[in-house]
Amino acid sequence: MGLVGSLSPSPRRLPRRPPRKKKKKHLSSPPAPPPPPPPALTLPPAPTPNQKTTKKQFGTFAALALAAGGLYYARENDLLPSALAKSVDYTAVRKAIADVLERDENYDDGSYGPVLVRLAWHASGTYDKATGTGGSNGATMRFQEANHGANAGLKVARDLLEPIKKQFPGISYADLWTLAGAVAIEEMGGPAIPWRPGRTDAADGSACPPDGRLPDASKDAGHIRDVFEKRMGFSPRETVALIGAHALGRCHADRSGYVGPWTRSPTSMGNAYFTMLLEEKWRKKKWSGPVQYENASDGTLMMLPTDMALIWDKGYRKYVEEFASDADAFDKAFASAFGKLLELGVKF
Ligand code: HEM
């Protein structure tokens, strides 16, 4: 199929798929309950001078004091005891995430879902299979990695999740960020994403990956291959499926320098990114910003150079065509590739 699509609107050009789950309005829901107080450690009363303290009592006191100190240290350093992690009610965490997605109708297109998906992807997409470094384990974006250029704007997503971390202190940041991406996809009408807990948080930034691992949007198919196939270990089909997440959200001038959404339904997960790529006619946007493409029919949609690479490169284009014509195949391929992405470098 050529790049030039008909200029008259056709139903296939607006593949809005209603989210599978009926979307609840969260705007009027009551604020989340205050976080429960931290588990209290009951210490025996300190022995008074006139109280005869047996060796056994003193031993118990010392052990509890040590345990309290250990718990304090673990909390301060995010080394959460696995017992705490095991006690997390992940269904309740999922609900808490779903409840904040549409908290602010004035944020972007009315949903924090897309930026949460980007957080999960950027937390995971630094993985290097050759060295086993990077990836979602460690939640290293809490350290200097937050200032890497590619992560501009993700503070919004991390801050949004902070009250949920306080409410469920047993979940690691690494688990929370990846789970938030999975829940956001599901809440926006996408497929169920395989997800399991087990990531731990690094105590400091020593495990941060070097800056520059995430893909550069100004580059070509060779760069996409280097990042997704050679460094992370995805197949070409998985690579195309993953980038299909650009069905969601938009580019922001103050974050990446690019502007605009890829689809007309940026809060609905589906194969619209692929149908837009094939059915719209794309031309270079005339502006002073970085090279990006706009749809010729009304200039309201955008594509990055790396997005265009998916239709210019023969090896990738066949999967764009497959996913554009078969939404179920895309759902399955995306769920499996995104689930794999969220586990890169994690030892369960
Ligand atoms: C070649 C690969 C990729 C490149 C170059 C790329 C680049 C970008 C850029 C420049 C933005 C705009 C950021 C902003 O200004 O706010 C963006 C947004 C986004 N990306 Fe990607 N991306 C790639 C792959 C992916 C993958 C694999 C996923 C998820 C699986 C993903 C999910 C998203 C989402 C959901 C947004 C919208 C965020 C929002 O609305 O705030 N991207 N991407």
Residue 47 belongs to some domain of the structure: no
Does residue 3 carry a pLDDT above 70? no
- Ligand 1 center to residue 132 CA distance, Å? 23
Q: Is the CB of 112 under 6 A from ligand 1?
A: no
pLDDT digit string, tens, across residues 245-263: 999 999 999 999 999 999 9
Residue after which a domain boundary falls, among 207, 225, 255: 207
Q: In terms of domains, do 220 and 335 share one? A: yes
Which of 22-36, 69-83, 224-238 is predicted least confidently?
22-36
Residues 244 and 150 in one domain: no
Residue 217 CA, closest ligand 1 atom number: 5
User: What range does the domain containing 328 cover?
Assistant: 215-342
pLDDT tens digits along 188-207? 999 999 999 999 999 999 99
Residue 89 belongs to a domain = yes
Q: Judge if the beta carbon of residue 260 lies within 6 A of ligand 1.
A: no
Burial code (b: 16+ CB inside 10 Å, e: under 16) for 274-285 equals bbbbbbbebeeb
13, pLDDT greater than 70: no
Which residue, by CA, sits nearest to atom 20 of ligand 1?
118
256 lines ligand 1 (CB under 6 A): yes
Task: Give the number of the atom of ligand 1 that is nearest the alpha carbon of residue 341.
Answer: 30
pLDDT tens profile 284-341:
999 999 999 999 999 999 999 999 999 999 999 999 999 999 999 999 999 999 999 9
CATH code for the domain in which residue 249 is found: 1.10.420.10
Closest ligand 1 atom to Cα of 261? 40
The verdict on the CB of residue 115 being under 6 Å from ligand 1 is yes
Ligand 1 proximity of 316 Cβ (cutoff 6 Å) = no
CA of 219 to the centre of ligand 1 (A): 14
- pLDDT tens readout for residues 21-54: 434 333 333 344 444 444 433 333 443 444 444 5
Hey, which residues are catalytic here?
122, 262
Q: Is residue 39 part of a domain?
A: no
Is there an atom of ligand 1 within 6 Å of 185 CB?
A: no
Structural domain tally of the chain? Answer: 2
Q: Residue with the nearest Cα to atom 23 of ligand 1?
A: 243
248 CB within 6 A, ligand 1:
yes
Question: Is pLDDT at 342 greater than 90 in this prediction?
Answer: yes
Neighbours of 46 (CB within 10 A): 9
Contacts 24+ apart (CB under 8 A), 88-93: 88/168, 88/170, 88/171, 88/197, 89/168, 90/171, 90/179, 90/197, 92/168, 93/164, 93/168, 93/171, 93/176, 93/179
Condensed to tens digits (0 to 9), the pLDDT of residues 118-151 reads: 999 999 999 999 999 999 999 999 999 999 999 9
Please check whether residues 160 and 240 belong to one and the same domain: no
Residue identifier of the C-alpha nearest atom 35 of ligand 1: 114
We report the CATH number of the domain holding residue 181 as: 1.10.520.10
Question: Are 117 and 184 in contact, with CB atoms under 8 Å apart?
Answer: yes
Residue tagged 């460094």 (tokens): 231
The pLDDT of 226-243, averaged and rounded, is 98
pLDDT at 56 over 60: no
> What is the C-alpha separation between 313 and 339, in angstroms, rounded?
26
Q: What is the pTM of this model?
A: 0.82
Provide the pLDDT for residue 2: 35
14 CB neighbour count, 10 Å cutoff: 13
Expressed in angstroms and rounded, the spacing between residue 245 Cα and the centre of ligand 1 is 8
Please tell me whether residues 166 and 230 are part of one structural domain. no
Alpha carbon of 250 to ligand 1 centroid (Å): 8
CA-to-CA dists, residue 217 to 226, 227, 258, angstroms: 13, 12, 9
pLDDT at 301: 98
Q: Final residue of a domain: which of 182, 207, 232?
A: 207
> How many Å lie between the centroid of ligand 1 and the Cα of residue 48?
63
